[in-house]
Structure 1
Amino acid sequence: MSRAPPDPLFILRGSGSAVNSLSFCCGGDGPPFLYSGSGKGAIHLWNLTTRRAERVLESHAGSSVIWLQSFKDSRSRLISQGRDMRLCVWDLSEDRSAVTDSLLTASVGFCQCSLLETRPGAALLAHPTEHMEEVRVVEMRSWTPVCTLKPDLKLGMLMCMKMWQADSGPVLCAGYEDGSLVLWDVSHRRPYSCLKAHPEPVMCLDVDVCKQKGISGSSEKILQSWTLDKQQNLQMHDSVQMTNPGVSQLCIRADGKILATAGWDNNIRVFGWKKLKPLAVLQHHTDMVNSVAFSDHQDPPQRLLAAGSKDQRISVWSIYSES
């Protein structure tokens, strides 16, 4: 018999509104942290040792925080994206809570940004723009535009994206309203390939760069995986049908072993990444799950999975932690 799904390791309460975004910050000195962004513009800095919010940053003029990312090269830097159409860069060093820089994206959509740290102190950022189908890539330090990517075909609104470093340079995969995925060559500002992966808008995607394989979800019941060949052509690979429709976000763990999804049915689902085998349904939340995130596999000692929900709670789980 298969083991029953575990209970959460602990619950973080007190966000004050729906939890829309999560980011772990576990490297370097100091205790591991989890950052969360709320529907009312609050960013909570949760100390995972004490399981309490050490600080709350009031941000984005009270608008929803839809994306957060801590920088790998510095625990004291954080970037946030809000529904006020702004990006904010935060200095959290020595108990500071200061916005040191910001960028007006003018985007009214829900597409989350994507950060690519190219080397220590340098990063590229892909963000949506006022043109609903467009991605702009900028150099973080100066906000200098690198390129603007816009499909020739009418694919509808930009819904989600992920940028990573390939041998040939930065690559970005974007999901669109008509269910298409486009793989972009950032350096040459052109598409490598396009794939109609879903009949509905692509709500979320993630990519396993080592395996050259990715996965996407939509408002339907199907999760669709796809591969990249040596010519950077997107190809359908495998799919799995879920019990209920709708995925807000999905995340592949850094070791490439498991995948977690944030469900509109209030559940977190865990799959084996190799064959998309369903492994567990984690039930705790009483409203839709908006965000899932895995901790870095090195610290804390057990690998953690966090989920943020519209019910204003964050559940933290320890699952399949064996290496």
Structure 2
Amino acid sequence: MALATSRRPAPDPVAVLRAHRAAVNVLAFHTPSGALLSGDADGELKIWDLVKHRPVFSSRVHTPSAGVLGIGVSSALNNKIIRQPILSVKSESYHFCKLAVARRCTTNDESHEDTRGAAGQILMAIAGNDTSKVEIWDITSGQRVQLLSPKDSSVGMCMSLHMIFQSGEGDQCTVVAGYEDGSMLMWDTRHPAAPLLQSKQHKEPVLSLVLDGPGLGGISGSADGQLTLFSFNSTEKVYTPKKKFEGQAGIGDIALRGDDKIFATSGWDHRVSIYDYRRRKPLAFLKYHKEIVNGVAFSEDKKWLASGSKDSTVALWSLYPPSEGTSKSVE
């Protein structure tokens, strides 16, 4: 059944997870363990058993004054719960930008969680001490390996990040950053001195962005609710907007499912919006949360969508689960 053409109402959550005592800011699925991770505004990180719908681990990983703003997962780190930090990175700045762990370009049939580079690096991008700059860190060595700077600091703070290893051999990455003034900048880490591309498609801060599996396009969302689907060619240095939606107010997060067929956005209007990525059209609007929805995430097996809200709940949804042994398009 296609939600876009059916007259039936959008589905209710399969389950609601309620152990948080503060706004849920961010979500991530960890494929090796089959668990869901969630972080809240009080700095608490929870790991959920999705069969029993209860947390199996909870820890105050950041102070309540800071909260948890980003969670990066990597299959290369294996299935481990570590109660003490193995690495702490101090950005020496206060910002609202989620971190990004680099993954490899994929086809639609491959995992999006292949996060180790050719030289064994696990790379992470964060907003830096100067919040207009992007720092690249190697998690395996605990060293900062690059600093990416815009040509003009008037773009303001870095608000969103995505990073992929480029196709072929080596550890070169494409890094895309969304900025406070509505600009998007793209770097090739082989040439870090200046961005490859800079384009201003939004009037308000770019709060969220994601690249597709092959790394040839993606989606960006802004504070004013504009959603832009785009393609780019890093070789020819061309950025092309493909479709724009005037969507929900304040698109704080975007999740693209691993098969690049559907994506979800979270909004200040308390809703989760679902879109067909390939056909560039809306499919459904999910209503459960009573407050702003801060984060969304798809499971790697494509069966689950999780949404986290300022109302302190995590909702678990089942939308267009793929049939066993088939990769047919969403209908």
Q: Under TM normalisation by the shorter chain, which class is it?
A: 0.7 to 0.9
Query: Alpha-carbon deviation of 1:207?
Result: 0.6
Q: Name 1:86's counterpart in structure 2.
A: none
Contact 2:268 2:293 in 1 (8 A): yes
**Counterpart check, 1:216 vs 2:220:** yes
Contact 1:203 1:217 in 2 (8 A): yes
Q: How does 1:275-290 map to 2 (within 5 A)?
A: 275-290=279-294
TM normalised by structure 2 equals 0.86
Query: Alpha-carbon deviation of 1:226?
Result: 1.2
**Counterpart check, 1:10 vs 2:15:** yes
Q: What 5-or-longer segments of structure 2 have no aligned partner?
A: 103-114
Sequence identity of aligned pairs in percent? 31
**Counterpart check, 1:148 vs 2:140:** no
Q: Name 2:124's counterpart in structure 1.
A: 125
**Counterpart check, 1:157 vs 2:157:** yes
**Counterpart check, 1:110 vs 2:96:** yes
Provide the aligned C-alpha RMSD in A. Answer: 1.7
Q: Deviations over 1:1-58 (max 9, x none)?
A: 613211101000011110001111132xx5x210100110110111111111111111
Contact 2:232 2:238 in 1 (8 A): yes
**Counterpart check, 1:68 vs 2:71:** yes
State the alpha-carbon separation in 2 of the partners of residues 130 and 108 from structure 1.
8
State the alpha-carbon separation in 2 of the partners of residues 149 and 277 from structure 1.
34
**Counterpart check, 1:238 vs 2:243:** yes
Q: Name 1:85's counterpart in structure 2.
A: none
Contact 2:178 2:209 in 1 (8 A): yes
1:14 partner SS: coil
Q: How does 1:122-271 map to 2 (within 5 A)?
A: 122-153=121-152, 154-167=154-167, 169-189=172-192, 190-210=194-214, 212-229=216-233, 230-242=235-247, 244-271=248-275
State the alpha-carbon separation in 2 of the partners of residues 200 and 42 from structure 1.
30
Q: 1:232 to 1:72 in 2, by over 3 A?
A: farther
Contact 2:31 2:75 in 1 (8 A): no
> Counterpart amino acid of 1:191?
P
State the alpha-carbon separation in 2 of the partners of residues 248 and 306 from structure 1.
14
Contact 2:263 2:276 in 1 (8 A): yes
State the alpha-carbon separation in 2 of the partners of residues 221 and 275 from structure 1.
20
State the alpha-carbon separation in 2 of the partners of residues 43 and 281 from structure 1.
28
The structure with the greater share of residues assigned to strand is: 1
Deviates more, 1:207-216 or 1:133-142: 207-216
Q: Name 2:316's counterpart in structure 1.
A: 316
State the alpha-carbon separation in 1 of the partners of residues 54 and 300 from structure 2.
20
1:100 partner SS: coil
State the alpha-carbon separation in 2 of the partners of residues 75 and 278 from structure 1.
36
Q: Deviations over 1:214-257 (max 9, x none)?
A: 11111123211111124242222211222x42111011111000
State the alpha-carbon separation in 2 of the partners of residues 23 and 221 from structure 1.
23
TM normalised by structure 1 equals 0.88
Query: How many residues of Structure 1 are paired with residues of Structure 2 in the alignment?
Result: 298
